[in-house]
Structure 1
Amino acid sequence: MTLPDHARYTWGGDEFLVVEIAPDMSLEANFVSNSIAVGLEQRDLPGIVDICPANASLLIRFDPDELPHTELERAVRELETQVRQVSGGVLETRIIEVPVWYDDPYTRETAERFREGYHQDPSGTDLDYAAAVNGLADAQEFIRRHHERPWIVSMVGFVAGLPFLFQLAPQAEQLEVPKYLSPRTDTPPLTVGYGGCFTAHYSVRGAGGYQMLGIAPAPIYDPDRRLADFGDFSVLFRTGDIVKYRPIDEAEYREIQAQVDAGTYRYRQARVTFSLAEALADLEGHNRSLLEALDVA
């Protein structure tokens, strides 16, 4: 995908700057958004309150009494130019393995309560529908396609600790699934859902409209920071993280839950370098290198 030559800058009142990199999500747009966010954080300008990178844009909140809006815009435009001039940028990040019990009874039961008037196909399951709209043989093929390639966390937010993830797959093989016709008023915590081209990993119980694929046994938001993976922050995922979903059965789901209750569970993870140039040139090869790092962790 070719990005626009320049981002679109707009102001939200006196305290917010919105930078729209592109109108659509792509690896290139997301990389530019995250790179600007990292660069702005490293500059440590006085008056920056928060930096929120999103799929193809970022939102910056600032204190205009400490940082004039003209100075902020000049700094961000300089960073945008630098980021775009770098050919084949890299991101030092991590790959995390996330176990998922696909086609579990909890999301199935919830889906059954929200069929008529909520869902496009009340006669089947969310997984059946996801497979059908993608022209796949059955739900098991959709599950395989969902977990066989890694994902990149394109943004975190909307609900505390909730990540949106974009699969590292060729555009022709991207899975796309419409959201519910009308949002549910209930979604089990740690549901793994799908809407548009994104996976959403629900951090807490609540409303939602993504098709439900399965459920994870370990928290991704731990406000009490009981588990070692949350030692420095209550949210597991950060933008730019790479995620590999791993299918598990009920027995392993219960086993991991017991480890969580005991405070001993650790996510399997490794440090990796994500290269935009390598991903665009040979996505499957770059995916293999990412997964190999996890295999030796």
Structure 2
Amino acid sequence: MRFLVVSLFILLSTGCAITKQPAEPLAMPLKPTLKSQTYQLEYTKEHSSPKVKSVQLPAHKVVRNQTVKIITDKASVTDKLLSQISQALNDKQLKVTTKNNSDYTLTIQQLDLTFTDDTKYAIKQPEKPFTLYSNVAQQYPTQQCAAIFAQVSMRLTHKSSGDVVWFAKSSIDSASFHREPLIYNFTEEQKITNELEVVAFIHQQNTDEARIERLGKDIQIPQYKTLSKLSSLTKLSGPCNRTEVSALTPMMQFYLSSILIDKIKVQ
């Protein structure tokens, strides 16, 4: 009996001694520092000067301090533009009046704004091209923007005789008016492409069976892999869509109007 008890104790002690201790759990590897870099692109186009035609006839001399009544029946003139035209006449030392006994009448004959075909802006190579410039320039060589063509025409008439003493017309496109380049940016970002693979490997290696199996073995944890990705272009400045270009029209009309009035020869 005593022999059986001793034998059983020896067997149990031996079993405990030969039971394998599992390897330590694997920890998740540290992620690499991911880089992010932002770049700018500039797009430009050739601009045209405003087209201006001005003819002043010698039948009547326009003299300082003579009065002018502005006629707006033929065009839709805002109060602000009317005020700006009045100021431009005052700057020429002509007096604006609303009375019918003025020396002259200035008729606003045309204030036209027309959307035309989109205008193209070409990418401008920077002085020091960045590494990705060639690839991005091939992918985004141009930008297309809405365009408006503006025309303004006026006529100055001697009131008492009805003689036309001056007439003029000017025009310009929206891109040539504002002359701003288009500025875009994009971001190059590094992303980890195999994070799920690394997580799955660590999870599998930390099961009870795997920990016992890899006891004493050198286990290679998969390295994180990174890939650089480019974001889409984001516009930072420069009018381009229809809403942005339409917002330029009041300034375009005033610009053309002031050019014309400046052509009136006042003695």
Instruction: Tell me the TM-score normalised to structure 2 length.
Output: 0.20
More helix by share: 1
Structure showing greater Rg: 2
More strand by share: 2
> Per chain length, whose mean CA-contact separation is higher, i.e. which structure has more relative contact order (CA < 8 Å, sep 6+)?
2
